Structure 1
Amino acid sequence: MTSPIPWSDRLSTGTAATQGEVVRWYQETREGKAYVPTMVWGTLQTEAYATVILGRVVEFLGIPNDVPAGVAKRMQRQQVLYDGEHHYHVVLGEQALYTNIGGPEVMRPQIERLLEEAGLPSLTLGILPATVEVEMVPVHGFNIYGEDERAHVELVSSSVDVTEPSELRLYAKAFALLSGAASYGDDAESLLRKAHSYWAGTGPQG
């Protein structure tokens, strides 16, 4: 079953309640996968990066402004990286390292955070190079929870939960192709350091 939920309904009281739901999803799911092509995965975001992201959500959708509460929930969610009970395989598009969220003063520490956390036992982090060939058409970002039990997709107007087995098989196939083309280990670190150099010296200063 595929069930879209309009953001206007889901975020009608602000961001904190939905972020609380996401905390629960992550706490209850020991294994997860995520493909995030153009921004940093929420569970690896710094507080400053998350503040900019949620602020833009509030402004775009015209919902109640509870950004500090929403950010606090997002930071709480990150504890799953350190409790020794969870594992996440995450593929970031190389573009995610360059999408300007808050300028260099936000992006530099965010890339540093990725470099620091890349070696966590709870995390397998891949970077999909911008020029690598992937044997599928370009797709939106998505999360897969558990043993391919549910996929979650965020669209402009709504979020979608996918539970139909035939659809889930396609999401699992897509993740296998994307992760298979991604760079890991030293190669991923090289891409991260290249991005850090960009934001540290040659990126936009405004």
Structure 2
Amino acid sequence: MTHSSPWQQRLATGTEDIQDEVIGWYQRTPRGKAYVPDMIWGTLQTEAYATVILRRVVDFLEVPDDVPAGVTKRMERQQVLYDGEHHYDVVLGEQGLYTNVGGPEVMVGQIERLLREIDLPSLTLGILPATAEVGIVPMSGFNMYGGDRVNYELVSSSVEITDPAELALHHKAFDALSRAASYGDDAKHLLGKALSFWSTPGSPLDDIRRRAD
């Protein structure tokens, strides 16, 4: 079964309520998986990065502006990484390390956090290199909550999939992405390259910094 919910309907009261809902999903999911091709997984976002993301959501969808409250809830949900009761397998696309969210300062803080957290017992974090050959066609990012639900965040709506046959295909797809991803020291190397990119003055970063000022 597939169910679609328009974002403007779900965010009719702002971002806080839906972030509270997501906290419940994570707390009820001892094991989860996520594939995020072009940004940072929400449960590893810094406060600064999350603030930029939720500000863009509010402005784009023209929903009530409660960004600080929504960010507070997003930070609260991250406690699942430290409670010893959860584990998440996450594959980030290398592109997500270079997608400009908030400018160099925000990106440096975000990548530094990934480097700090990559060895958490609750986390298996892979980086999918931009040039990696993957045995499936390119696809949108998705979250898998346990073995019974997959969620997509599209431009206008959130899509939830619960059909067993479709779930099995998503597990197969995640396995293919995981096989192509880099882990451990190789992943840290990719993170280090991105950190150097955002930390080192020079083109094209000078233009990015000037626009951010």
TM-score w.r.t. length of structure 1: 0.98
Instruction: Name the residue aligned to 2:22.
Output: 22
Equivalent residue number for residue 138 of structure 1: 138
Partner of 1:189: 188
Query: Are positions 1:205 and 2:209 aligned together?
Result: yes
User: Does residue 8 of structure 2 align to residue 4 of structure 1?
Assistant: no
Displacement of 1:149 in angstroms is: 1.0
**Structure 2 counterpart of 1:48:** 48
Give the TM-score taking structure 2 as reference length: 0.95
Mapped to 2, the partners of 1:99 and 1:53 lie a distance apart of 12
What does 1:13-162 align with in structure 2 at a 5 Å threshold? 13-146=13-146, 148-162=147-161
In structure 2, the gaps of 5 or more residues are none
Question: In the alignment, residue 121 of structure 1 is paired with which amino acid?
Answer: P
Where do 4+ consecutive residues of structure 1 move more than 3 Å? Answer: none
Gap regions ≥5 residues in structure 1: none
Residue identity opposite 1:136 in structure 2? I
**Deviation of 1:154 (Å):** 0.5
| CA distances 1:116-136 after superposition (whole Å, capped 9, x unpaired) | 000000000000000010011
Q: What percent of counterpart residues are identical?
A: 68
Counterpart check, 1:173 vs 2:172: yes
Deviation at 1:8, TM superposition (A): 1.0
Separation of aligned partners in 2, 1:55 and 1:183: 31
Q: Distance in 1 between matches of 2:19 and 2:209?
A: 31
Alignment deviations for residues 24-44 of structure 1 (CA, whole Å, 9 cap, x no partner): 000110000000000000000
SS in 2 for 1:33: strand
1:153-192, Cα deviation, whole Å (9 max, x unpaired): 0000100110001111111111000011000000000000
Matches of 2:120 and 2:92, distance apart in 1:
16
Aligned mates of 1:80, 1:128 — CA distance in 2 = 24
Kindly provide the amino acid, as one letter, of the partner of residue 84 in structure 2: G
SS at match of 2:209: coil
Cα distance in structure 2, aligned partners of 1:205 and 1:35: 29
The residue type paired with residue 12 of structure 2 is S
How far 1:205 sits from its partner (Å)? 2.2
CA distance in 1, matches of 2:18, 2:170: 23
Tell me the amino acid that sits aligned with residue 205 of structure 1: R
Letter in 1 for 2:98: Y
